[in-house]
Amino acid sequence: MKNPFNEHVRVRFAPSPTGFLHIGNLRTALYNELLARHFNGDFILRIEDTDRTRIVEGGVENICRSLQATGVIPNEGIWLDEKGELFERGDYGPYLQSACRERHLEQAEKLVTMDKAYYCFCSTEHLDDLRKKQQAKKQPTMYDGSCRKLDPTEARKKVESGESHVIRLKLPKHGLISFNDIIRGKVTFDWSVIDDQVIIKSDGFPTYHLAATSDDNHMAISHVLRGEEWVSSTPKHLFIYEAFGWKIPQFAHLPLLLNKDKSKLSKRQSDVATEDYLKNGYLPEALLNFVALLGWNPSAEREIYSHDELVELFSVEKINHSGAVFNLEKLDWLNSQYIKQLPKKKYLKLARTYLETAITDDAYIDRCLLMLSDRIVRFGNVTDLAKDFLDLKKDYSGVSLTWKKQTTEDATEKLEALKELLESLSADDVAKMEKSESAIKSLILERGWTNGETLWPLRVALSGQEKSPSPFELLAIYGKDRSLGLLENALKHLRAS
Ligand code: GLU
C-alpha cells in the first residue's frame, strides 16, 4: 500500500520503567509496531527514565520481556541480548532518556536565552500556598507567573549564586493553539488554561515534556502514537518544536481504556500487567489479538486476526476516538478460540505446565486434557477443570444418579448390569469409544430399556456431575479399572440411600 504520509515512518514506544508493562501500554506499543511494519518503517523502544522517583529495578528488562513474549519487537533502541542483558541498537541513541540529560539541559538553557523559558525560584511552600488559595476559590490551580517577570540578568545571577530553581516554559497567555490529530481531527486549546510547564526540575533532571520532545526530534520520529492522557500536553510540545524550528511529527492520541462500567481502567498491577495475563494462561497471540481490537477493528464481521494480518490491515485513521471497553469476557472467548486451534502436541505441553495433580499416569492425564480442550478458557484454570475428572468421585452427594422419575432400585439394576457388561469387555475395548458404545447400546436394545434411564445413571456415576461429556467418552478416558471402581462407588451410594 502507498504511504499516505509520504515519508519514512519512524515511530517510538516510550514507556517509563515503572515495574511492569501495563496492558494499555502493550496496545500503544502494538499500534506503533503495526504502523511501522505496515509501511516498512522503524519501530523504536526508548526508555523514559527521567522521573527518578518512579523507576523500579529491573523495570526495563521486564518491559522488554513482555514485549518479546507477545511478539511486539522493536528494530531499534533498547533491547535484550541472548543473555538477557540490555543493549542498544540504532544510529539515534542513546535510547535511555537519562543518558541524554546534557542535551536536554543545553536545550533548556537555549530556550531561556531565546526568552521561551525562564528560571523560577518559587519555593514549594509558596506554590503549595498558591494552590490552596486557588482551590479555596474554586479556581484552576496554575502557577501565578511571579518569576516570569524577573529581570533575566538578575535571574541568571541568582542561578549562578546557587539558588535552587526550576526552568519553566514561557507559554503564551492568550490565543488558541490547534493541531491536527490523525484520530481526533482538529484539536484546539486555549493558551490561557495551560500552565507554564516546568521543563527542568530542581534536581536538575528534565521533565517528560522537554525530554520526550527533544528525543522525538533527535530520533527523527515521524509519528507520535500515544495515550489520550497526553493530548492536553501536546500544545507545550508544539511550543518547543516551534521555538527551535524543528519538524513537527504527526500526532495520534489513542483512546482511553475503560472498565465495563465506563470508568477508567484500573491501575492495579494484578489487573493490568501484561506478564500476569500471560502467567494466567492467556496465549500471547490471543492477548495481542484482543489488545489490537481495543479501539480498532478492520471489519465488523471478524474478530480473529494473526499478527501479520493486523500489520497488513492497520490504519491509524480508522482508530476510534471514544474510549475502548476492556471486556475480559471477550478476551476469554478469543483465548478459547486460540486454544482450540492449537496443535494437539502443543496444547498438551502447555496444559501440562499449568496442571497440578498428584496423578502420574501420563496417558490418563493426556486423555483428560484432550477432553477438556474445547472447554478451557485459559490455561490458568486447567487444574480446576481437570479436578472433576482426575479426582474420581467417591461420594455422590448433591447429584442425582436417577433419571427423572426413575427409582433408586431401577438405577441400581441398570448400573449392576452395566458393571457386568464392562467386566466382560477387555480393557482395550473399554478404552475404544466405539466398542463400549456399541456394547452398551446393544444391551439397552436387548433389555428394552431407554437411553435416559440407562445412560444418565452411568454418566453421573462416572463423572459425579449432572452435566458432563458423554459416558462413552468418560469410559474411554478412565479405562476399564477406574470406570468399574466408579460404578462400584455409585452403587454403594445408591444402596445406602
Ligand atoms: N513516558 C510516557 C509514558 O509512559 C510516554 C508518553 C509518550 O509516548 O509521549 O506514558
Which ligand 1 atom is at minimum distance from the Cα of 13?
A: 8
- Do 106 and 239 lie in a common domain? yes
Domain that holds residue 419: 408-496
Q: pLDDT digit string (tens) for 54-104?
A: 889 999 999 999 999 999 999 999 999 999 999 999 999 999 999 999 999
Q: Are residues 109 and 64 in the same domain?
A: no
Residue 269 has pLDDT above 90, yes or no: no
Instruction: Note whether 421 and 475 are same-domain residues.
Output: yes
Across the range 235-259, mean pLDDT stands at 97
Half-sphere exposure of residue 5, counting CA atoms within 13 Å on the CB side?
A: 23
Same domain, 346 and 276: no
pLDDT for the residue 76: 98
When the pLDDT of each residue in the chain is averaged and rounded to a whole number, the result is 95
What does the pLDDT average to over 187-195?
96
Residues 192 and 248 in one domain: yes
Same domain, residue pair 168 and 242: yes
C-alpha cell at 63: 518491559
Nearest CA to ligand 1 atom 3: 15
- Give the end of a domain, one of 210, 229, 254: 254
If you average pLDDT over residues 240-265, what whole number do you get? 95
Output the pLDDT for position 74. Answer: 98
> What's 119's DSSP letter?
E
Does residue 158 form part of some domain?
A: yes
Kindly report the protein residue whose alpha carbon is nearest to atom 5 of ligand 1.
14
The answer to whether residues 455 and 371 belong to one domain is no
**The pairing of beta strand 86-89 with beta strand 76-80:** antiparallel
Which conformational region is residue 283 in: left (phi greater than 0), alpha (psi within -120 to 50 degrees), or beta?
beta
- Cα–Cα distance for residue pair 214/206, rounded to 1 Å: 10
Question: In a 3-state reduction of DSSP, which class is residue 14?
Answer: coil
On whether residue 412 sits in a domain, the answer given is: yes
Going by pLDDT thresholds of 50, 70 and 90, the confidence category of residue 2 is low
Closest C-alpha to 29, from 88, 73, 84, 59 = 73
pTM above 0.75, yes or no: yes
Looking at 254, 283, 307, the residue that finishes a domain is: 254
Tell me the catalytic residues.
Answer: 267
Average pLDDT over residues 16-37: 96
103 and 244 fall within a common domain: yes
> Looking at 202, 230, 254, which one is the last position of a domain?
254
Tell me if 358 is assigned to some domain.
yes
Asked whether residue 363 is domain-assigned, the answer is yes
Residues 166 and 264 in one domain: no
48 CA from centroid of ligand 1 (Å):
7
Whether residue 249 lies inside any domain: the answer is: yes
Q: Which pLDDT score, from 0 to 100, does residue 231 have?
A: 97
Residue 331 φ then ψ, to 5° = -60, -45
The span from the first CA to the last CA of the chain, in angstroms, equals 73
For residue 217, tell me if it sits in a domain. Answer: yes
The arithmetic mean of pLDDT across residues 298-326, rounded, is 95
- Considering the domain architecture, whether residues 139 and 40 belong to the same structural domain is answered as no
Q: Which residue among 52, 230, 234, 250 is best mutated to probe the pocket of ligand 1, counting the most ligand atoms within 8 A of its Cβ? A: 230
Q: Which residue has the CA at smallest separation from atom 1 of ligand 1?
A: 15
Average pLDDT over residues 476-492: 95
Which range (28-32, 205-209, 262-266) has the least confidence? 262-266
| 412/479 same-domain check | yes
Kind and range of the H or E run holding 422: helix 408-424
- Total tally of structural domains belonging to the chain: 4
Q: What is the domain-level CATH number for residue 21? A: 3.40.50.620
* Residues 25 and 86 placed together within one structural domain of the fold: yes
Q: Report residue 107 as a C-alpha cell.
A: 536545550
The domain that contains 457 carries what CATH number? Answer: 1.10.10.350
Closest ligand 1 atom to the C-alpha of 229? 10
The answer as to whether 401 is a domain residue is: no
- 463-489 CB burial, b ≥16 within 10 A, e <16: bbeeebbebbbbbbbbbbebbbebbeb
Query: Mean pLDDT highest for which of 112-116, 359-363, 428-432?
Result: 112-116
> pLDDT class for 393, splitting at 50, 70, 90?
confident
SS3 66: helix
Instruction: Judge whether 168 lies within some domain.
Output: yes
Provide the CA 396 distance to its chain's centre, in angstroms. 41
